[in-house]
Amino acid sequence: MKKIYLPLLAAALAAFSACSKKPAELVFSVGGAPNEIEVWERIIKRFSEEKGVPASLLRQPTDSDQRRQGLLVPLKSEKANPDVFLADIAWIGQFAASGWLEDLAPYAAKDGTDLKPFWPKVVDFADRYNGQLSALPAYVDAGLLYYRTDLLNKYGFKAPPATWPELLSVSLKIQAGEKKANPDFFGFVWQGAQYEGLVCDFLEFASSGEKAIAFSDGVVKLDTPENIRALTFMRDTIAKNRISPPNTYTEMKEEEVRTFFQEGKAAFERNWPYAWGLHQQADSPVKGKVGIAPMPRFPGGTSVSTLGGWHIAVSRFSDDKAGAWELVKYITSPAVQKELALELGWNPGRMDVYSDKEVLKAYPHFAHLEKIFANAYPRPNIPYYTQVSSILQRHLNSALSGASEPGAALKAAESEMNEAAARYR
């Protein structure tokens, strides 16, 4: 009897175990403010219900560096989770070069997913690495010039400045008038502290359709007349022409700049699109007095905005890559992209959402953003970008502080950056 029943018992227990085992669950890793997490939780829950794919949210911190570290650990360890995650645009090169990202191109080709709604420059320059489609844009960002419409009218200017020399002259005139009543007023505020934002600003000041940080066969070229001109102009806004506050190179990051402008103490502001909604809040002193425009350029140059944003990627170590691709398609779909825009004010990764009537009614400035994003350029898509950026930040800030001359700073940065690049050749 034992010989008969024991195998049957074992089979029954195995069947029960199989039935009681939970199905594999997709894990989507994302960070952000509490209101952003609430929206993401709702989206993931709806995805599970509509697609029949169990999925959960792995919450990350708001801080970008902490989010990056939180992804590096499981990716380096080749863990199955998270399956899908949002990555800052500056991380894609490193993650792809390390072999951590699944190539999305075969999945898109297999089910006929149309990539045309995404900006070609964004996909080609930021999301592709060595021919691999490593990610897709979920949220697009780019530098903007904010300006006080009331002050331009007050001092007789019909349009915001299109060139850096024009911005200087307009700033000087407005500043001279406004300082009589407000001694703390300055013409132009921007991000000059020693951090990643300084690199973004530098690329825009360099105002070239080509990359200011040029790479050819692994060799970096940074010490150019155009870049020296840009860095000299940046320094002079603080020390010589004094249209920017003296603490620009010590304290000015996004929020310091945004607050300064929003308090009515500047005519122009370089910042990301997120600042628009805050400037228009009911308690904002500049509500209804702000316009946006493309970043200025030097005469003969091209207006350039540094591309930022968050891109959705699939881990190469995911144990459900088919389900992960379904989640990628869902989050980058017109409906979800529209939801993120309306709920969070996010700038969609898709071009077609910018012509949506409901979105334009809620955010009229989106009509201007579409044109600006079309001319946005990413930072170098290289696996050692974090080292390159750290070197450049230090030397740019040194020039802004007056500790070194612009030409010498760029030459030293170029030398160190090539040493870093050589280790990867």
DSSP 112: T
d(CA 46, CA 399): 51
Domain 144-306+381-422, CATH homologous superfamily name and number: Periplasmic binding protein-like II (3.40.190.10)
Residue 412: predicted pLDDT: 98
Residue 208: predicted pLDDT: 59
Residue 210: predicted pLDDT: 55
The tokens 């594999």 sit on which residue? Answer: 24
Residue 12: predicted pLDDT: 41
Residue 261: predicted pLDDT: 98
Residue 215: predicted pLDDT: 81
Q: What is the pLDDT of residues 44-63, one digit of tens each?
A: 999 999 999 999 999 998 88
Residue 384: predicted pLDDT: 87
Q: Which two tokens stand for residue 231?
A: 């860095």
Residue 14: predicted pLDDT: 43
25-141+308-377 and 144-306+381-422 agree in CATH topology: yes
Residues 140, 355, 366, 201: what is their CA dihedral angle, to the nearest 10 degrees?
40
The helix/strand/coil state of 79 is coil
Q: What is the pLDDT of residues 131-171, one digit of tens each?
A: 999 999 999 999 999 999 999 999 999 999 999 999 999 99
Amino acid at 197: G
Residue 381: predicted pLDDT: 83
Domain ranges across the chain? 25-141+308-377, 144-306+381-422
Residue 1: predicted pLDDT: 42
d(CA 323, CA 54): 9
**How many CB atoms are closer than 10 A to CB 215?**
16
Q: What is the pLDDT of residues 316-333, one digit of tens each?
A: 999 999 999 999 999 999
d(CA 154, CA 166): 17
Kindly state the percentage of the chain with pLDDT values over 70: 93
Of 269, 291, 303, 258, the residue nearest 364 (C-alpha)? 291
pTM beyond 0.75, yes or no: yes
The helix/strand/coil state of 372 is helix
Q: What stretches in the chain show pLDDT beneath 50?
A: 1-22, 209
Residue 20: predicted pLDDT: 36
The listed CATH number (3.40.50.20, 3.90.1170.50, 3.40.190.10, 3.40.50.150) that belongs to domain 25-141+308-377:
3.40.190.10
